[in-house]
Amino acid sequence: MGFKEWLRKFGMIAAVIVLVTAFAIAGIYRWKRGRNLAQPSESATSENNALPNAIDLHQLAVNKVEADRGEPTGNKARINIPAELKLYKDTKRFLAIQVAEWRKHKFQIPHDFSELASMVQQGEFTILPPLTPDYILYGVGLKADGELTHYDQKTGKSAPLFRDETEIENELGRLNTAFKEFETKARELKTELARMKNVDRSQRAETLRQITTAQKSAAATETRRDLITSFYKSEEHRKVSASEYQKLAELSRSFDGVAYDLNEAVPRKKLKMRLLSGLRPSALRQLAEIAKAYREKFDRPLPVTSLVRTIEYQWQLGDAGNPNATRIDVPPHTTGLAFDIFTFYMSGAEQQFLIDEIARLEREGRLEALRENRNHIHVFAFADAKPPEERLIQESVTMKSSEESNEQE
């Protein structure tokens, strides 16, 4: 073999070796890179673990509350109700005790959300977190839909709040236009109905339904228009509205570190729900003690469905079908001393433990309570951990309510 031929063959072999080596190095690099990507860095892993999903924690708590007990629950469970959680022979006494406690301390009562917001800012109420290890707010403020309103104590009616004069005039203009459209629609449908001959019954029924709908819409629009016109014809009312709206707007920009858009229905409702999540410190102490005992015994958070209420919200609950939402001057929940525990998912053992614990606290004179028929335990904490004088209770028995009920809240 000549020197040139040997050199040519050697060169080819060397090139192959270099090429194979390059591919091998590239393969090793890709394997290591893929392995590193498949395994997050220690810092990333610890960072992810340090940020638990709050929604998952809340859902986990809900799951614990609603878990199937495998036995009768709520009112279907068999329990022994102690005398402390039953109504008195004089059924008015239970409510009178709570009213007497308010009379003893003369607490301010929030009539609407603007007043409630002011009281929260002044430290009258402590806003509870939606979830703690011991309790969960289970549907608190769930019916707080709708716009922001001012509750007029003289008329007992709620008037919508507006940012300024321009908003008032714009709304009145919109209502006038809508009222005319509904009236025109109803009139046209009536004309159409009169011309119907030899038509199917279902077609006539549908037209009649549309007429009724248009007439109801016109009536509702007229009622709202007249309410706004009547309320805002007063210069004083216009100033009150602007002031109350501004107060809520300022609060909504950062309430507990969260901003709420008052122009949107969902954020507005969430703000109302947070405002309704308050208790006076004395009531919170009783709730915390009861919830801690329940959680330690059954490893479940205590479901709480109602805390402070405004007078306006109390009336709304009554109109929505809650028979326990009593209509008196001072409903217990408006004092910020009452809270309701939901027992629908609880076994007999759970309920028995709870009512025995609450009965003990009532015997100690720290609260008044009632096991209600609607799967709830109503608890009213005394502000100074002792009941009001009998004189105040007897005087409160004679207070009239516009809606009598054996289980008044």
Q: What is the pLDDT of residues 224-259, one digit of tens each?
A: 999 999 999 999 999 999 999 999 999 999 998 999
One DSSP character per residue, 149-170 reads EEEETTTTEEEE--SSHHHHHH
Instruction: Tokens for 384, please give them.
Output: 């100074």
Whether the pTM exceeds 0.85: the reply is no
Are 320 and 146 a contacting pair, CB within 8 Å? no
Separation CA 149–CA 159 (nearest Å)? 5
Are 300 and 294 a contacting pair, CB within 8 Å? yes
Instruction: Give, for 241, the enclosing helix (H) or strand (E).
Output: helix 235-253
pLDDT band for position 397 (cuts 50, 70, 90) = confident
Instruction: Report the pLDDT value the prediction gives residue 316, as an integer from 0 to 100.
Output: 87
Instruction: Report the pLDDT value the prediction gives residue 328, as an integer from 0 to 100.
Output: 63
One DSSP character per residue, 183-195 reads HHHHHHHHHHHHH
Average pLDDT of span 383-397:
94
